[in-house]
């Protein structure tokens, strides 16, 4: 089994970045992305569930939602798999921190900056000529002149980041290297022997989790494998013919893939059975096959 948690899971991502005790890690990471004029010295976590003004309005749930001491609002999302209308979703999310700034009575409409940062475990737009792992989107006019500097979208496509340890040039690249390879590390590599990363490794140790945390992580890891199933992608792309046939085949193949990965990760049969609800004898058969 891996020595460190998977940061792409809900549990892992929030364990590293979403707690008061570890917000120094989040601040260090975000300061590599926000404009220098918005450098963060401290922040507070806000309710990550936002509901519209009317009861029938849709609600939005962010992975992490925070506000800096100078008022900038920052949404951070970890997206595990490609979804329809992803860009629309990102724009929709930013309407909440914008609208919540409205004041009662007379108000001059002056807004604080809003950032939407998405860390993606997929390539969200393969049609782009630019193949950079980081895409920064702002509002500009037809002459590519900045129209508004208080709304920024930052998309980080992790599959496009393939630098090795000896190729890392910046502190931010060290962060991406840390996130992308965390579950593969056995020890802290020399390039990451800095206080902020050493704390990250310590927080991420699976052996340091208590029983409740360990169970929560196992469930989160199972959900991650389920979402990342290659069969789901094939089905979405129309490679599996017939809706009913596709759904049923998807369930079977997804089950096999999850068990296969769990065996390779070193989970014992009892744990696999508890999480997947499969009989141990069935798991043993799948291992032999």
3-class state of residue 158 by DSSP: helix
Per the model's pLDDT, the better-predicted residue between 123 and 144 turns out to be 144
Residues whose CB falls within 8 Å of the CB of residue 126, separated by 6 or more in sequence, listed in order: none
pTM for the model: 0.79
Contact indicator for 225, 275 with CB cutoff of 8 Å: no
Query: Is pLDDT above 70 for 117?
Result: yes
Q: Is the dihedral of CA 127, 124, 133, 81 positive or negative?
A: negative
The secondary element (H helix, E strand) that includes residue 119 is strand 114-120
Rounded Cα distance between 21 and 259, Å, is 34
Torsion angle, CA of 44/13/117/26, rounded to 10 degrees?
40
**Bridge partner list, 147:** none
Residue 114's Cβ-count burial label (10 Å; 0-12, 13-18, 19+) is buried
Q: What are phi and psi of 272, to 5 degrees?
A: -60, -45
- Residue indicated by tokens 């329809």: 84
Q: Average pLDDT, stretch 247-252? A: 54
What's the average model confidence in pLDDT over 251-258? 65
pLDDT digits (tens, 9 = 90+) for 185-199: 999 999 999 999 999
Binned at pLDDT 50, 70 and 90, residue 58 comes out as low
């Amino acid at each position: 089994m891996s020595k460190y948690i998977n940061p792409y899971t809900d549990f892992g991502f929030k364990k590293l970045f979403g707690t008061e005790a570890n917000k120094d890690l989040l601040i260090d990471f975000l300061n590599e992305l926000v404009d220098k004029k918005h450098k963060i010295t401290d922040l507070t976590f806000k309710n990550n569930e936002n509901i519209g003004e009317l009861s029938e309005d849709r609600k939005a749930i962010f992975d992490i939602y925070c506000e800096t001491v100078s008022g900038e609002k920052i949404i951070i999302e970890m997206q595990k798999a490609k979804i329809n209308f992803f860009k629309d979703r990102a724009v929709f999310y930013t309407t909440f921190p914008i609208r919540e700034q409205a004041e009662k009575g007379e108000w001059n409409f002056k807004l604080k900056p809003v950032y939407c940062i998405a860390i993606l475990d997929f390539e969200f737009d393969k049609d782009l000529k630019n193949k950079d792992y980081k895409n920064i989107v702002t509002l500009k006019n037809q002459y590519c002149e900045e129209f508004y500097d208080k709304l920024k979208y930052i998309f980080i496509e992790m599959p496009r980041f393939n630098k090795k340890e000896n190729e890392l040039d910046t502190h931010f690249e060290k962060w991406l290297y840390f996130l992308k390879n965390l579950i593969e590390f056995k020890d802290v590599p020399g390039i990451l022997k800095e206080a902020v990363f050493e704390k990250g490794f310590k927080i991420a140790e699976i052996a340091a989790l208590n029983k409740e945390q360990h169970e929560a992580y196992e469930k989160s890891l199972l959900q991650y494998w389920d979402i990342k199933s290659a069969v789901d992608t094939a089905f979405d792309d129309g490679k599996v013919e017939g809706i009913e046939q596709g759904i049923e085949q998807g369930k079977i193949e997804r089950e096999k893939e999850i068990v296969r990965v769990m065996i390779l990760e070193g989970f014992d049969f009892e744990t696999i059975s508890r999480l997947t609800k499969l009989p141990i004898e069935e798991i043993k058969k799948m291992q032999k096959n």
